[in-house]
Amino acid sequence: MRRRLIPAFALAALALPSSAGAAWFPAESIDGPSADIVSVADVEVAREGMAAVAYLKRDAGLEHLFLARMVGGGWETPVRIDNGIVSAASQPVIAGANPDRLAAAWISGGTLFAAVRPRGAPGFGAPRVIAEGGVSNPDIGMSINGATYISYTQNGDVKVARASRDSQDFAVIPAPLDFDPARDAGGGSDSRSRIAVSADGSAVAVWGERGSDGRNHVFGRRIFEVRLSTAIEDLSLSEFEGQRATDADRPEIDIEDDSSFAQVAFRQQLAEGGPRVIGRRLVGSQFDPPFPIDAGVPSSAGRITLTGRGEGITAAQGTDNRVHGAAIWNNKLDRMQRWDADPSGIPPRPVPLAGENENGALVWFDGTGTGDATVRGRRFDDIQTLTLEPEATLSNPAFGAIDVDAGLAGGSTRVSDHVVAFVQGSATERRLVVAVNDDPPARPLGQNTTNKRRLERFKWASARDLWGPITYRVFVDGRQIAETGETALPYRPGLVGDGRHSWNVIAIDRRGQQTAGPRRTIRVENTPPVLRASIGRRGRSVSVRVRRFSDRGAGASGINRIVVSFGNGRRVQIGRRTRYTYPNGGSYTLRIIGVDKAGTRTEIRRELRL
């Protein structure tokens, strides 16, 4: 799966009622204010919640690669990745996989470098040279199991390097991906390559390349570890909707967990009517017929994001700066529609987001100009219906103007905790910021039985939240009795009286969002039964006689059994009396235990020396 995202943080406030759904939280600063912050470079969100944002920041006057990592919903201190490299960094990209493997690639002085943070490691390894001289336009992808590919352009060819799932070492595939190595491929910002990696560790790359007909084409090719497929597919069109097609460029790709299926979007120029954004689905080694993802209007750029099962969202930027999106459902484009309320005066650069639970969103720039630009977002709860919620503003007015040229990136966890990264502020007040759409905690379900019983603890299932920690408030008969970070509350005297009670738990996440668990009934009997007994002895012979055994307390459950333990391993259940002769003399602890039907017990002990 692709990257292009970043998660979020510890935003305070905005506590929601227990019935609320996911909410947008405005941007939070993760670095700055500082005049040295340059731009958002790339973002990664793993399905289980780990996230990272790569960005450029000046250090000693030169731009270098920094990375901030988010674990458990909180941001760690950003670190520089290109340590030891004197020349400036550019075009950085990152990819990641559960639980915490990360890989970064960038260009410094025309050389492609990469650094990997292995699973469980405290940090990134030293940068390693992948390719030297004339290198540009890297892209990176990682499978859910950690296999990592980097595509890049070198001296007019598109090439690929691969690292296995637990390795920091990349092997460069000697042959270029090009359809015709004699022609220019992967050059400039419009023909740069993109790569996506499936769960089995194979990949698909797309790129722009000049054809023998003088047109720019978009090609696609599979990569199987360090082997290139012999099939190179030309995705670009010769005509579309009755119009002659010319150049094709700006390819984007995402892939399902099943390596047989991927989706590609690209810009196709038409001789009349302007550019269009086209989608094509890869099935095996061939692409299905083209379909428009731009609502039938001239558009300059498009994006596609997929879940592991192949559902997804498209985003298209119209030449009039309008935002269109559609669902990819059941392998078809569905419910294409406008997502923004008004056309923007600036390029919106929309980013589609989708989680494995089939919720999603689009985010984009909006404003009459760069002076009043904001970041807007709009989400939905079900890709099958694609019912859109109202637009929300994600940028934070307290941080100043948005730098729309400094990038916009976003993405999702598997449960559609969406995150968005951009830059706000000017001069010395520049900040790298992130906004988030955070799903409230799942309902905490009580696990105590409703049968009458001795209460040892309240216990409940953990409320799912990938960006914990979660705090739980325990209520009995509508009164809060405790707050804890655990999923159990031990009983202590006076906590709950005997009898029937109603109880539930409310889960609260780091942003104050609350989800109430269902009310459950519990029948408590913690009052022990009354037990009276006499013990007689003659030599090594001991007799036990129970004079009284009765239950008591509110809603007493009734008596159950009496057990006598003679202290030498012999243990018997009795009615009201018993006699036992010890085979040997010595010291023993005699125990008479009365247990009621709720499991509450009373015990009488007697030390014997025989």
pLDDT 10s digits, 453-472: 778 899 999 998 999 899 99
CATH topology of domain 530-609: Immunoglobulin-like (2.60.40)
CA–CA separation, 470 vs 141, rounded Å?
A: 32
Cα distances (angstroms) measured from residue 449 to each of 445, 485, 525, 592: 12, 22, 13, 28
Q: What is the pLDDT of residue 154?
A: 98
Rounded to the nearest 5°, which phi and psi values hold at 25?
-115, 125
pLDDT 10s digits, 381-399: 999 999 999 999 999 999 9
Mean pLDDT of the chain: 92
- Please list the alpha-helical segments (H only) found in 139-258: 188-191
Weakest-pLDDT range from 259-273, 317-331, 553-567: 553-567
Dihedral angle sign, alpha carbons of residues 76, 196, 218, 315: negative
CA–CA separation, 185 vs 194, rounded Å?
A: 12
The percent of the chain in helix, strand and coil, each rounded to the nearest 5, is 5, 55, 45
Q: How many CA atoms lie within 13 A of 548 on its CB side?
A: 7
CA–CA separation, 543 vs 574, rounded Å?
A: 12
CB atoms within 10 A of CB 289: 7
- Are both 23-438 and 530-609 of the same fold? no
pTM of the entire predicted model = 0.85
The domain covering 23-438 belongs, at the CATH homologous superfamily level, to YVTN repeat-like/Quinoprotein amine dehydrogenase (2.130.10.10)
Of 2.60.40.10, 3.40.50.720, 2.30.30.30, 2.60.40.420, the CATH number of 452-524 is: 2.60.40.10
CA–CA separation, 609 vs 590, rounded Å?
A: 10
* Average pLDDT estimate for 194-200: 97
Provide the residue ranges of all domains of the chain, joining segments of one domain with +: 23-438, 452-524, 530-609
Q: Is residue 148 scored above 70 in pLDDT?
A: yes
pLDDT 10s digits, 9-58: 232 332 333 334 688 999 999 999 999 999 999 989 999 999 999 999 99
pLDDT 10s digits, 325-334: 999 998 889 9
Cα distances (angstroms) measured from residue 282 to each of 18, 221, 253, 325: 43, 10, 10, 20
Query: DSSP string spanning 229-258?
Result: EEEEEE---SEETTEEEEEEEEEEEEE-SS
- Cis (ω within 30 of 0) for the bond into 99? yes
Classify 398 as helix, strand or coil. Answer: helix
Q: Which DSSP state fits 402?
A: B
Weakest-pLDDT range from 33-37, 240-244, 480-484, 598-602: 598-602
Strand pairing report for 452-453 and 520-524 = parallel
Dihedral angle sign, alpha carbons of residues 342, 344, 347, 348: negative
Strand pairing report for 51-59 and 457-459 = unpaired
